Chain A
Amino acid sequence: MASFDLVTPTTEEAAIAELRTGAPGEVAVLAGGTDLMFDLDGAKAAPRRVVSLRRLPWRTADWNGPVLTVGSTLSLRSLERDPEIAKKHPGFFQAIRAVGSVQLRHRATLGGNLGRAAPASDLIPILLALDAEVDLVGPSGSRSLPVDRFVLGARRTALASGELIRSVRFPEPRASTYLWQRVRPANDISQIAVASAYSPSDGRWRLAVGGIPPRALRLPEAEAILRSADPPDAEIRDAADRAARHLVIATDRRASEEYRRHLVGTLLDRAVRSTVAASKGGR
């Protein structure tokens, strides 16, 4: 591959400035690098400058009351090994465990995964179900967006020119579940994944599906059917059916449209039941 300059700014301001030194495509951002290396090898990216984020003070995970703020360059493995996160956001923990392998998670980051917005990202569905928000910094200052408005499509985000993801915020701990269907249980990409979470503060469910291009989606119609923290069987089945029926799904070499549709219904049903059970058995 063509060579490039690698710069490693130590402040946010310096990092933002570096991003503006070239035209789009000429400058690439390096977090954990697990996706960027792939693009470089496949000649899908040929940047002249790569901006490494490793020296920025973003490898943090802080609680402020119920709010968890995760720095975008903290490794997924560090998040995975945090017992408090596993306890308070069990679905998030399950999703992180689904990403690649331990070695990969030692370098992969939440910011990198979110910024890439791969249709089969294992983290975006649970971020949607947890109402996570992205904190961005750029030349015009800081702004925040719900993840649902940050991820626009397959590999497309609302990141403006010169902007970086600084952190991701989770408003409150929620009983939550992340389930996936794959060819093999480890080190794989999901054919379908679902995330469910129940919000204690507004008493409503959040359901999301991932693995269907172009992007993970919330399922408001299905959510509206579930009226309580412990919905009856019929409601759960109805919500799962409704979601499965109305999704737009295509066939690809990983799975056919009919199979994906069937999986959505099956996994959503299970995820909701699992969240209910966990919240009963939990705290």
Chain B
Amino acid sequence: MIAHPRPDARPKLEGSAAFALDLDVPGMLWAALVPSPVAHGHLRSVDLSPARALPGVVAISAADLGSLLPGKSGDPDRPVFPSETVVYRNQPVAAVAAPTRELARQAARAVRVEVEPLPVVSDLEQVFPDWPGPKAEGSTHVAAHVRAREGDIEAVFRSAETVVAETYRTSSIHQVALEPHACLAEVTGDVWRVQTCTQTPFGTREDIASLLGVPEASVVVDGTWVGGGFGGKGAALLEPYALLLSKASGHPVKLALGYREEFLLGRTTLPSVIRMETAVTGGRIVGRRVRLLLDVGTSLPGRDFATGYSIGFLLGPYSTPAFEVEGYAVRTNKPPFGPHRAPFAPQCAFVLESHLDHVAREAGLDPLAFRAAHLWKEGDTTPMGQRVGPFGLPSAFEKARATAARWRTQLDPDSGIGVAVGFWSTGTGAGGEVRLRLSPTGLTVVQGEREIGSGSVLAGVAAVAARYTGLPRDRVTVAYEDTSRAPFDSGVFGSRTTATLGRAVDEAVRSLFDDLGKRLQGSGLVHLRVESGEIVAEQGSARRPLRELCNEKERADGAIIASGRHYGKSGTLDEKKVEAGTFYPYTDFTGAAHAAQVKVDRSTGTVRVTRYAAFHDVGAVIDPATAPAQVEGGVVMGLGTALTEEAMWSEDGRLLNAGLLDYRIPTIGEVPPIEVTLIEGFLGAGAFGSKGLGEPPMIPVPAAVALAVRDATGAHVTELPLSSERVARALKLL
């Protein structure tokens, strides 16, 4: 069993860990949001009077912002409440607070909203039935446009032996954290304070300040336990409404989404259409063209990160001498695109792996050998011109391949095996800081992130601190402080947490040991030991209990303090290749190779995953208990993306399957045995050369499953998810 029980295990097992929805304070009001009834329209009027007529109800809309935020301008591109146009269905046009949750819902329903409908832009094909023409980037439908190229792709394609062109489609998926969004806001005087389930307390603070037009210093975000984030709790969502209602009512205000609303208002991965063309001569890729149309909902122009970032996952981790990539972020009347776990990378890997597998088959080449021959290794240059650092992917790929070969000797009928790869970059350059408190009995790492579940904070950071200080794990705790007291950190996302905070701990420990050395006046390295329950510091022949090294102030405070920070750097791209938009270099190169075995019901198209193996390039294992757990959890989440998860949108911009019955995430019975192998030694950007592990486990999953289905049946499915109906069609059963 696991060596170190998680410090949060007992409260969570006993039901005493309080989440945002659980919070209850005297005088608290419950809030509810008033949704737009249509996906696009001129907002004619919002009549709050029927709501205000109900006892104890406070209601606000755009008209009230002037008096609630006198002299503040907020963000003109992102008004808290729209005053002229609604741009997605259920967009909040007003908010109410009432003494009970039931009354708040009633009050929200009572608000009369008049909207004059406008035509709804519901999907990509409606905007661009064909690939966008040259003037498209100026269109109001385009939120971002990226293009890069190397070489003369037309000439390359003309002279190649084989050119294979395919179109793929991927669906919208939701994060589906079990905990719905919730927060409790209390405005007192000039202080806008909110307790909320957030992956990014400081990022949320910045967002709130920007949206309300108030100084960041006047906003305090106090994070609660988070019941799963997966990217969906990385920015302010409910907090501005709750804060404004608190200001308006003079009461604390709790706002929580119902689970349907989680789907309806969720900011997540939206559909895409991707065109892949690859030219091969003499068994080598000689050129590639990639075209990405990504639905970004009502994301604002200039605020799309996904397109330029994701397109990298359609290029790598493979080398190509010539290429042309182009991506359009297309606006539709849906909520704005938001980050999901490994945002859009699993979809890209599905497309890339499936395509290269298909290209190899069309060119008469062995698919695994073909991909292996083009995989990046350390020292290579990526198509965008960045040098590939230590990269364990070739090693992971070989292990996955060997596992697949082993499984193949015992394969059941109607079964197949797929091997797929993915890559990631540990926390693209975001930074963080920590404060250490070394007391006579233990070390506390004070930082500004709550544990969202992975263990990256409570276990990962603790493990790093224990290793750097030499203290036993049970003498190290990680403490959380809110944004008014904690050192800054960018947030729990991008697989950066343990890696970046770990580097900050490294610097803080160096500073601490420097300080201890000065106090000890010994020679050589400083060590910390625990004797009879107390910490003793040594340097050479100098040994003193920590308490004796403290000055008077430190004795009163109970600890010696040290600080450290880490702001990572990404590599650089060759900007000459960039013709439009922003592309993103990587901080390190994190590889993942998976093998999936499936059994396909050839009469119904139903796919069952019967065996799975995941090989991950982790640099260095920080916490042996939580690391494999991340892989298991990420693989199973990826299985949902691969097989069953699909948010369906109607032509009038309505999400048709908002709810856990009709949007299906995996259940316990659908999980295969999963072998996890963590490969160390190819060092990355984090502490001890570790690489982030929160997101990579998701990336190769849909690809591995799709390739296994092809191996089992010959069916080549070019859409996600691989529903049984899509597989049945690819099997020509219908």
Contact = CB atoms under 8 A, between A and B. Distances in A.
B664 A184 contact: yes
Interface in A166-193: 181, 183-189
Nearest to B605: A259
B102 interface: yes
Contacts of A267: 604
Contacts of A185: 667, 669-670
B102 A181 contact: no
Interface in B602-616: 603-604, 606
A181 B669 contact: no
Contacts of B662: 253-254
A258 interface: yes
A259 B733 CA distance: 8
Contacts of A263: 604
Interface string B639-655: 00000100010000000
A184 B728 contact: no
Interface residues of A, number: 19
A1 B102 contact: yes
Interface in A251-278: 253-256, 258-259, 262-263, 266-267
Contacts of B604: 181, 263, 266-267
A187 B656 contact: no
B728 A262 contact: yes
Contacts of A183: 644, 664, 723-724
B664 A256 contact: no
A23 B525 CA distance: 87
Nearest to B105: A1
A259 B731 CA distance: 12
B120 to A, nearest CB: 18
Contact of A256 (B102, B606, B668, B725): B725
Given A1-B102, A253-B656, A262-B733, A181 B666 contact: no
Contacts of A256: 725, 734
Interface string A187-211: 1110000000000000000000000
A266 B664 contact: no
Interface string B597-629: 000000110100000000000000000000000
B101 to A, nearest CB: 12
A259 B734 contact: yes
Contact of B667 (A187, A255, A258, A266): A187
Interface in B694-734: 723-725, 728-729, 733-734
B725 A259 contact: yes
Contacts of B648: 253
Interface string B372-386: 000000000000000
A189 B661 contact: yes
Contact size range, B: 20 to 34
B403 interface: no
Contacts of B657: 253
Contacts of A253: 648, 656-657, 662
A184 B656 contact: no
A189 B661 CA distance: 8
B667 A186 contact: yes
A53 B472 CA distance: 60
A205 B397 CA distance: 54
Contacts of B729: 259
Contacts of B734: 256, 258-259, 262
Interface string B316-341: 00000000000000000000000000
B144 to A, nearest CB: 30
Contacts of B668: 186
Contacts of B102: 1
B535 to A, nearest CB: 49
Contacts of A188: 661, 664
Given A253-B656, A266-B604, A259 B728 contact: yes
Interface in B659-694: 661-662, 664, 666-670
A262 B656 CA distance: 25
B664 to A, nearest CB: 5
A184 B667 contact: yes
Contacts of B725: 255-256, 259
B723 A184 contact: no
Interface string B120-156: 0000000000000000000000000000000000000
A208 B604 CA distance: 19
Nearest to B109: A43
A66 to B, nearest CB: 34
Contacts of A262: 728, 733-734
Contact of B666 (A1, A184, A255): A184
Nearest to A259: B725
A267 B657 CA distance: 26
B733 A184 contact: no
B606 A266 contact: no
Contacts of B669: 185-186
A239 B104 CA distance: 57
A174 to B, nearest CB: 25
Nearest to B646: A183
A186 B664 CA distance: 10
Contact of B603 (A184, A186, A189, A266): A266
A120 to B, nearest CB: 11
A207 to B, nearest CB: 18
A179 to B, nearest CB: 10
A183 to B, nearest CB: 5
A184 B663 CA distance: 10
Nearest to A2: B106
B102, B669, B734 interface centre (most CB from chain A within 10 Å): B734
Interface in B501-531: none
Contacts of A259: 725, 728-729, 734
Nearest to A255: B725
A239 B132 CA distance: 51
B730 to A, nearest CB: 12
Contacts of A254: 662
A129 to B, nearest CB: 21
Nearest to A192: B604
B513 to A, nearest CB: 53
A267 B601 CA distance: 12
Nearest to A185: B669
Nearest to A265: B603
Nearest to A181: B604
A185 to B, nearest CB: 6
B242 to A, nearest CB: 23
A253 B728 CA distance: 16
A140 to B, nearest CB: 38
Nearest to B258: A41
Nearest to A38: B661
B694 to A, nearest CB: 25
A182 B670 CA distance: 13
Interface string B35-69: 00000000000000000000000000000000000
26 contacts: A181-B604, A181-B606, A181-B724, A183-B644, A183-B664, A183-B723, A183-B724, A184-B644, A184-B664, A184-B667, A184-B670, A185-B667, A185-B669, A185-B670, A186-B668, A186-B669, A187-B667, A189-B661, A253-B648, A253-B656, A254-B662, A255-B725, A256-B734, A259-B725, A262-B733, A263-B604
> Closest 6 interchain pairs by CB?
A258-B734, A186-B667, A266-B603, A259-B725, A186-B669, A184-B664
Given A181-B604, A183-B664, A187-B667, 11 more contacts: A184-B664, A184-B670, A186-B669, A253-B657, A253-B662, A254-B662, A259-B728, A259-B729, A259-B734, A262-B734, A266-B604
